[in-house]
Amino acid sequence: MKVLLIGNGAREHAIAEKLDDCELYSIMSKKNPAIAQLSKEYWICDIENADIVAKTIAGHEFDLGFSSPDATLAAGISDVLGGCGILVASPSRAASRIEWDKSYMRTLLQKYGIKGSPKFEVVKSPADALRLMKEYDQVAIKPLGLTGGKGVKVSGEHFTQTDDGLKYAETLITKDGTALIEEKLVGEEFTLQAFCDGTRIGVMPPIQDHKRAFVGDKGSNTGGMGSYSTGPLLPFLEHSDIESGKKILQGVVSALKKEGTPFHGILYGQFMATAHGIKIVEFNARFGDPEAINALSLLNDSLGNILLSMAEGQLHQPSFSNDSTVVKYLVPQGYPDKPIADSPVTIDSAAIEESGAKIYYASVYDKGGKIMTTSSRSFAILSKATTLEEAEDKAEKGCSLIHGALWHREDIGTNSLVEKRIERMKSLRGQK
């Protein structure tokens, strides 16, 4: 099967690797050395420009197309692929609106009675923003569009004074004309991702991502510093939490079908386990990064066959290993505020393989045979084992075998951090 993959990050490296039983072709905005090596042929162009992508694939034939990054979905690249007569396993621009328009997402949930939304309002003036900040007391302030996971400001985490929150809301209103104000959710976040064929869903194991830059969940939000999974259930969750998440995901897919925009692709639900049940933080219309790396390492089936079944509207239900996984991102020194770019990196590939870890290339480039950093996340290190403790240990060893001006969060997947999650949820739920 000839598969065309759009994208060039560590997430796409993991997807490309999992398509090992297919003939892979790829289109990238910048050359990812690992994806290029896995591809029979690749092209470099502006992957967010529909006309350029259409010209790039003109004259070529593919059996299946998959556009991965959020900005490509918002740009309608899936629609371009479909217009070229290719079966497409990623959502149309209209269906992916569930991610790139947060107001639409909240309104859709409201319209179809899908439970789990916080109180919210889209505001167009600082006066309305201030009114809601007083009414809700604790808030989350968000832009309506795509921000790469870095656009949300939350009371008590990113600001403590009302004036500081109001200034951020004013900045968004000046820039975009609107801002989304939601009541703050208190609890533990987790991710449920699902393969979707427009009607049915096939849910992946739950994963916890770590957005904050520094050890102990300190610092500003990033695209994700790492993630872990522990089979069908995370340690701080209950089975009822997973069932609630599945019901919400199915509700969204059913709602989008009724809206005339059936969702074929990966639906990512970011949920918050709270004292009052499962709440919806956001939806993405694609694999998470790094969560895709965790989930795909556990997938027992052919990814190519599952994507094809999604595109054809006849989803093959996936099966997954119950192993634990840990992903840690190596990022440039100074990241996320003042990252140092264009620094050489040395990788001991043989030793990484021997350690039981795997490396995925993210935002790096090849210069004269040397791998160089950019200002974004550089490498994802994955490990998989029967226990979380063993997986975390392997991930740390893997990180130590990449040398350069890089750093990572050492606490992701550690017993001490996970225990804090467990104790917090027990406290919120009134459990001893």
| CATH number of the domain that residue 30 is part of | 3.40.50.20
pTM of the model: 0.94
- Give me the percent of the chain exceeding a pLDDT of 90: 91
| CATH number of the domain that residue 223 is part of | 3.30.470.20
Q: What does the DSSP assignment read for 266-310? A: EEEEEEEEETTEEEEEEEESS--TTHHHHHHHHB-S-HHHHHHHH
Same domain assignment for residues 348 and 215: yes
pLDDT per position as a tens digit, 132-182? 999 998 999 999 888 776 788 898 888 888 899 999 999 999 998 999 999
Same domain assignment for residues 204 and 226: yes
- Identify the residue with better confidence: 182 or 432: 182
β-pairing verdict for 87-88 and 64-67: parallel
Tell me, yes or no, whether 113 lies in a domain: no
Same domain assignment for residues 218 and 302: yes
What is the helix (H) or strand (E) element at residue 54, kind and residue range? helix 50-57
Residue 379 backbone zone (phi > 0: left; psi -120 to 50: alpha; other: beta): beta
Same domain assignment for residues 159 and 196: no
Same domain assignment for residues 73 and 49: yes
Is it the case that residue 256 has pLDDT exceeding 80? yes
Same domain assignment for residues 200 and 347: yes
Residue pair 70/285 in contact by the 8 Å Cβ criterion = yes
Beta strand residue intervals within 30-161, DSSP E: 41-44, 64-67, 87-88, 120-123, 139-142, 153-154
Tell me, yes or no, whether 323 lies in a domain: yes
Among candidate residues 183, 211, 235, the one where a domain is terminated: 183
Give how many domains the chain has, as a whole number: 3
Tell me, yes or no, whether 98 lies in a domain: no
Same domain assignment for residues 275 and 389: yes
d(CA 422, CA 219): 22
Question: What pLDDT was estimated at residue 348?
Answer: 95
Same domain assignment for residues 383 and 324: yes
Same domain assignment for residues 147 and 253: no
Same domain assignment for residues 135 and 231: no
Tokens 């004292």 sit at which residue? Answer: 275
d(CA 266, CA 264): 7
Same domain assignment for residues 308 and 396: yes
pLDDT per position as a tens digit, 258-300? 999 999 999 999 999 999 999 999 999 999 999 999 999 999 9
Residue pair 70/99 in contact by the 8 Å Cβ criterion = yes
| CATH number of the domain that residue 175 is part of | 3.30.1490.20
Mean pLDDT, the chain, integer: 95
β-pairing verdict for 2-6 and 64-67: parallel
Assign 320 to helix, strand or coil: strand
Question: What separation in angstroms does the CA of 158 have from each of 138, 363, 381, 409?
Answer: 12, 26, 28, 19
Same domain assignment for residues 264 and 370: yes
Tell me, yes or no, whether 430 lies in a domain: no
Query: Which structural domain, as residue segments, surrounds residue 53?
Result: 2-93
β-pairing verdict for 344-347 and 370-373: antiparallel
| 189 DSSP β-pair partners | 272
Question: What pLDDT was estimated at residue 158?
Answer: 84
